[in-house]
Amino acid sequence: MTGAEIRNAFITYFKSKGHKEVRSSSLVPHNDPTILFTNAGMNQFKDVFLGNEAAAYPCAVTAQKVLRAGGKHNDLENVGRTDRHHTFFEMLGNFSFGDYFKKEAIRYAWEFLTEVLRLDTDKLAVSVYEKDEESFGLWRQDIGIPEERIARLGEKDNFWSMGDTGPCGPCSEIHYHLRPLVEGRTPRESLEADDGSFLEVWNLVFMQYNRGAQGRLNPLPKPSIDTGMGLERIASVVQGKVTNYDSDLLYGLTRHIAQGAGHRLHESEEVDVSCRVIADHIRACVFLIADGVAPANEGRGYVLRRVLRRAARHGKELGYSPGFFSDLAAYFIPLMAPAYPEIAEAQDLVQILLKREEQRFAATLTQGMKILDELLEQQKQAGSKDIHGAEIFKLYDTYGFPPDLAEDILIDRGYAYSKPQFEQAMTEQRRRAKAAQNTRGIDLRLDKAYQNLTEQNQESRFVGYERLEVETEILAILQEGNLTQEIHQGDLVEVWLKETPFYAEGGGQVGDRGEIEQGDFLIQVAETQSLAPGLSIAKGQVAQVIGQGAKVSKGEPVIARVDAQRRRATERNHTATHLLQAALRQVVGEHVKQAGSLVTPEKLRFDFSHYAPLTPVQIQDIEELVNKAIRANEPVSAQIMGYDQALRTGAMAIFGEKYGDSVRVITAGKSSKEFCGGCHVSATGNIGMFKIVGEEAISAGVRRIEALTGRAGLAWTQRRLGQLEQIASQLKVGLDQVEPRFAQLLAQLKEKEKGLEAAQKELSRLQAGKALERAQEINGVKLLALKLAEEANLKQVGPEYLAQLGSGLVMLSKEQAGKASVMLLVSKDLTDHLQAGKLIAELAPLIQARGGGKPEFAQCGGGDPAGLEEFKAGLISKLKEVFK
């Protein structure tokens, strides 16, 4: 069976057992700050397991794309050097949300492995948690596995926890006999010793406890199942291959990589490692970019950059030139697009970003070599062959220079660096990154009060698409996280309504404001948030109360009223973002996809995938397309349809967003059709007008547009027109003459600047000639040392002084704002004996400065002008020493 056939067989088998097939979620976790990437199949069901969200189906099956290259699960450095490690892989999993438990999970796993995949039953062994008698009995008696092939292992190996507290439970792993047993050992003893004879292929987690703060295990009311089986691993087993890289999922790719560089697989260990690294990393990079990640200097983008550069490094080792990785994406994408069509849709963007990053890395290698050369020169001057590990780490962390390449260069030149110091710097960087991520203490579970609300079998129904004012009922009022039945003026409260017109913040759109009114009280709603499906909370302050306080009970009738003016302005901006994306794709390219947005009443902000600044012409064309759609005044409609049906109609989904089986599709005129749960105008003409007021890069491959609509756009335009009229008045021309008159003035200014520059050069020449009178001769070498005025440009006037001096050395200095600056110039005929850069490096500490430069030119700046005389004395002393 091929890997694709195994994936399909897994899905088909569990669908036949009543499981709902759920699409793979994005590699960028949805609403989960505790992890950098999706690293397990259960990530997208975490809210269900935590009790924050009711399951939409009793059991599910997935083929989940997974990445382990950052944070706790980081396999990056092992990739290519072992048989099984990957950054990107596919995780097959079946899940039960309180439906079936151990007996069925074990039977399903055994049936699939032995009857569908037809694995030899005599080659399978299992491990169970040492205290889990139930699982042991099921394997031994129901399945019939002999005791010598069942290992009881401790908590470290066979007990799974989501965190220090929360859902947890024992697990059972299924292993395949891969290598001959160590002499004298049974399969059970081999598993207990973990001696490599068996390969783990499937992990079944039995989530049956909730671990409290004191460590006590309390049974869950609805025990659940979470399983995971790596597709690449099981494919290698089914196909009888020794390594994952020999399975059909990766072998063709590694062979293509080797042949493209003129190599053959298995010709050497180095070639195999490089081919494996590149094959793994092209998969990771393609899927990351398709899911909205772009190379950057921090966060997910930094991981992508490291993975990509590691691949580029190994490509260089094989003999590839920059650009090969981008070309490899074009070969790889068709291989997996049938299972993951999103990578085909993003192919243009993927290749563009990969090529740009490869080119940048080539420049980085050049820059890194320069810095490494300077470092080695310093060590040579100091007479040391030992490089501090922190210096090599700085090259790696700041410039992306591979440490193994640095090590090769150092060895070739007779140097070495301290690896313990490198590791110490690496550990410190990881500690800082972990602190910056600040996720250790994050608890994604709802507060107890909200959990109690979700268990009441009630939910808040949003009716705000159609109505901005409704008569409804209070389901609960909370104050400081506690249910309350009495409110007072000034209290900050959270209100849960049976029917709510208030849109909860989501999809980039801010939450509604408004008021909740009843005869005895008035609550001003400041924000609306959705804490879980059906749990939309209006947060605000009690503005009016009759008497000392008002009693509020469940079922209390109230009128909920949205701030209509604010909502309408928000709707204009939201629909405009849809028209903007359609225009961007038409003007800039089909690779453009939404990467984030913010829709408020005042403005809209739209982040999109693109690799270069928009030109003025492109911005003008985009504005014209959006305003043309607005002038057409076409209807804007919403329709609920199935996810797959929506995609077939051409509707666009958003990077990383989590969708159910049914989705809401917004059609705005003829040009725009998108998945969207937000609020929109009824016709494009209601937007009024559209004006882009800002465009910038926010990370590599992601740009941001800010724009205004309606009255805000008109007010902005009027302000700019007023400013233009004022400029025209000052220039004494009409509005249509401002631009040519301004160009004329600029040309005149440039002519005057040229004349001024020529005059300054002549003045400098005269001053330099006069200054020669102050030059002194030291052992036959002329030295001109001058302190200039604070406004002097040392770099600009220095060459003139040296030209006037001819052969010799010039020291120019100045004092400005309590700081000193020094520039040294050495005539070319003396650089075999004196070098400006070395002199600066040696003498700069005298003015508490740092600096450097070339043999003929160098400069430094520091904080102690009092040291300038000592600097000059040191320079004279050096001249006397060199020219005896």
Query: Residue 462 pLDDT more than 90?
Result: yes
**Cα separation, 75 vs 315, whole angstroms:** 20
| 236-268 pLDDT tens trace | 999 999 899 999 999 999 999 999 999 999 999
HSE of 504, CA atoms in CB hemisphere, 13 A: 21
Backbone angles phi, psi at 592, to 5 degrees: -70, 125
| 226-237 pLDDT tens trace | 999 999 999 999
| 16-59 pLDDT tens trace | 999 999 999 999 887 777 788 888 888 888 888 877 778 889 99
Helix residue ranges per DSSP H, 20-83: 46-50
Q: Give the distance, in angstroms, between the CA of residue 252 and the centroid of all CA atoms in the same chain.
A: 30
To which H or E segment does residue 799 belong?
Answer: helix 794-805
- Look at residue 83 and give its three-state secondary structure: coil
| 384-430 pLDDT tens trace | 888 888 888 888 877 777 787 788 678 767 888 888 888 888 888 76
Note the pLDDT of residue 825.
Answer: 94
Identity of the highest mean pLDDT range in 335-344, 569-578, 639-648 = 569-578
The DSSP call for residue 864 is: -
**Cα separation, 430 vs 71, whole angstroms:** 9
**Cα separation, 37 vs 42, whole angstroms:** 12
| 681-701 pLDDT tens trace | 999 999 999 999 999 998 878
C-alpha distances in angstroms, 524 versus 466, 475, 541, 563?
Answer: 21, 18, 5, 10
More confident residue, 745 or 163: 745
For residue 870 the two structure tokens come to 């000592």
Note the pLDDT of residue 455.
Answer: 65
Phi/psi zone of residue 676: left (φ > 0), alpha (ψ -120 to 50 degrees), beta? beta
Helix residue ranges per DSSP H, 35-75: 46-50
Which residues touch 101 (CB under 8 Å, ≥6 apart)?
A: 206, 208, 223, 224, 225
Average pLDDT over residues 526-534: 87
For CA atoms 65, 69, 75, 81, the dihedral sign is positive
Which residues touch 21 (CB under 8 Å, ≥6 apart)?
A: 11, 14, 15, 60, 61, 62
Note the pLDDT of residue 810.
Answer: 93
| Percent composition of the chain: helix, strand, coil (DSSP 3-state, to 5) | 45, 25, 30
DSSP state string for 397-435 = HHH---HHHHHHHHHHTT-EE-HHHHHHHHHHHHHHHHH
| 846-871 pLDDT tens trace | 898 888 889 999 999 887 888 999 99
Note the pLDDT of residue 274.
Answer: 92
**Cα separation, 279 vs 832, whole angstroms:** 50
For residue 352 the two structure tokens come to 């563009």
**Cα separation, 248 vs 1, whole angstroms:** 9
Backbone angles phi, psi at 352, to 5 degrees: -65, -50
Q: Give the distance, in angstroms, between the CA of residue 295 and the centroid of all CA atoms in the same chain.
A: 8
Share of the chain above pLDDT 90, in %: 54
With beta carbons less than 8 A apart as the criterion, state whether 322 and 362 touch. yes
For residue 875 the two structure tokens come to 């320079």
DSSP state string for 490-544 = T-EEEEEESEE-PPPBBTTBPPP-EEEEETTEEEEEEEEEEEETTEEEEEEEEEE
C-alpha distances in angstroms, 420 versus 282, 393, 416, 511, 523?
Answer: 31, 11, 12, 52, 62
C-alpha distances in angstroms, 307 versus 74, 107, 286, 867?
Answer: 12, 39, 11, 48
Which residues touch 645 (CB under 8 Å, ≥6 apart)?
A: none
| 84-126 pLDDT tens trace | 889 999 999 999 999 999 999 999 999 999 999 999 999 999 9
Q: Which strands form 636-642's sheet, in the order they lie side by side?
A: 636-642, 662-668, 672-675
Note the pLDDT of residue 441.
Answer: 41
Note the pLDDT of residue 616.
Answer: 95
With beta carbons less than 8 A apart as the criterion, state whether 444 and 52 touch. yes
pTM of this structure: 0.74
With beta carbons less than 8 A apart as the criterion, state whether 501 and 562 touch. yes
With beta carbons less than 8 A apart as the criterion, state whether 668 and 578 touch. yes
Helix residue ranges per DSSP H, 240-346: 251-260, 269-290, 299-318, 324-336, 342-345
Note the pLDDT of residue 593.
Answer: 87
| 181-206 pLDDT tens trace | 888 899 999 999 888 899 999 999 99
Average pLDDT over residues 174-178: 94
Residue type at 399 in one-letter notation: Y
Give residue 275's pLDDT band: very low, low, confident or very high (50, 70, 90). very high
Query: Residue 733 pLDDT more than 50?
Result: yes
User: Exposure of 547 by Cβ count < 10 A (0-12 exposed, 13-18 middle, 19+ buried)?
Assistant: exposed
| 325-367 pLDDT tens trace | 999 999 999 999 999 999 998 898 899 999 988 988 888 777 7
Residue type at 73 in one-letter notation: H
Q: Residue with structure tokens 């509005």? A: 735
**Cα separation, 335 vs 861, whole angstroms:** 57
**Cα separation, 94 vs 570, whole angstroms:** 41
C-alpha distances in angstroms, 317 versus 275, 313, 321, 724?
Answer: 10, 6, 10, 58
End-to-end CA distance of the chain: 84
Note the pLDDT of residue 654.
Answer: 78
